[in-house]
Amino acid sequence: MNVVVKQKTIGKTVGFEGQGLHTGNLAHFKVHPGSPNSGIMFCRTDLDPSLKVKAVIDNVCCDEARQTALIIGKGIVRTIEHLMATFHGLGIDNAYVEVDGDELPGMDGSARDFVEGFLDAGIVEQDAERRWIELEEPVYVDAGDQSLVLLPSSHLSVSYTLSYRHEDLKDQFLALRVLPEIFERELAPARTFCLKQEAEYLLAQGFGKGANVTNTLVFEKNVPIDNLLRFENEACRHKIMDLLGDLLLAGGFIRGHVIANRSGHALNLDLVRKIVMAKKDDKTDLPAVLGVNEIQKIIPHRYPFLFVDRIEEFSPGVRAVGYKQVSINDYFFQGHFPGHPVMPGVLIIEAMAQVGGVIMLSKPENRNKIAYFMSLDSAKFRHPVVPGDELRMEVSVKKIRARTGQCEGRAYVGDKLVCEAEVKFAVVEP
């Protein structure tokens, strides 16, 4: 039986200042106590002091690399992950962050200064119960040799494998349970890092303008240049800290065992989106089986270019199985090929893409939008599809972000695989 946990905030306002790791700009920010159930809120005081934005996945900027950024009106705030990790690690549910620039300061490359500031201010209980995020089934994402799995559990723990497969940084592993005292001692002091060749590349790309060997561990031959390690596996610990910061963007504290293999911010955020969608699945207003009328409420396609008759096993944002009954009366058979009718391969791809569009556009934030093709990869046609066949299309999401999504699909006639492909979409306003 789980013990009731009260929500928490800080006892008084705390201020920080320093240089942004990526922009190199001097930044100041203040963290104020937050009211119960308000969550973590951000504001750009230099743009619109009245606009407060919640730090949740729907407000994350997907075009930023090497860090996590939050969209605030017409601006953004970069590199929020160390501060978010501190809120997560210390168990702070509610706070209001005022920033006067486009990036939080990197401090010494770790979360240690944030932890010390919040502990000095005091962490106080509030008259509201914490609402946990708990899932009954595992949630996972993978990108080839990178993966994240969230298993159901009564508490939060992380097992992380770091493997750059490079002579300058050896493989590392750490597993621990996430508690405030463990975060303060074992994770918060771990600093951001990169390989020497990465540092040179990032500078050439315009990143890391505020980074140096005092706030970033630059590894060469398994040791940091002109610096000393705080932990033998400091890089692995920092990766766990980043992960904790990104996980809080699910909108609450998660109970589960996270198994991470070589993950970074992009994959972390993909997992958060899967977690959020799994939560929404429990409350979805869409049926598990969709007919033509329900399909047409989600995607804009109409006759003669609607190639899905029904959808079954529907899990919004995750997976669906679509069906198309191929008839000799379908218009495309008039010229492809007379006397030897074969369904055009591009239309099989289009049919699978329409199933993917239903999965993408069924998300509440994507309703009434349009999913456009961005790219098509790994398309293979195995067998012809002819009149009388029933086309079964099994489509699942590989990656889903605020404005883009990538799906993989396979089309079958009976047990015979007839086509497979990966499709990337852009989700836009009509």
DSSP type of residue 299: S
Quick count: other Cβ atoms within 10 Å of Cβ 225?
Answer: 13
Q: Which residues contact 335 (CB under 8 A, 6 or more apart)?
A: none
**C-beta neighbour count of 285 within 10 angstroms:** 8
CB atoms within 10 A of CB 294: 16
Question: Do 134 and 153 form a contact (C-beta atoms < 8 A)?
Answer: no
Catalytic residues: 265, 336
Instruction: Identify which of 304, 287, 306, 281 has the alpha carbon closest to the alpha carbon of residue 296.
Output: 306
Tokens representing residue 268 in the block: 């972390």
- Alpha helix segments (H runs only) across 224-340: 234-247, 265-281, 292-296
Rounded Cα gap, residues 395 and 352, in angstroms: 7
Residue given tokens 């000799």 in the structure block: 328
For residue 426, give both structure tokens. Answer: 């852009």
Element at 354 (helix H, strand E): helix 345-361
Cα-based torsion angle of the residue sequence 127, 133, 136, 140 in order, rounded to the nearest 10 degrees: -170
The pair of structure tokens assigned to 341 is 């009718």
Contact call for residues 188 and 106 (beta carbons, < 8 A) = no
C-alpha dihedral over 231, 268, 396, 280, to 10 degrees?
Answer: 130
State the Rg of the chain over Cα.
24
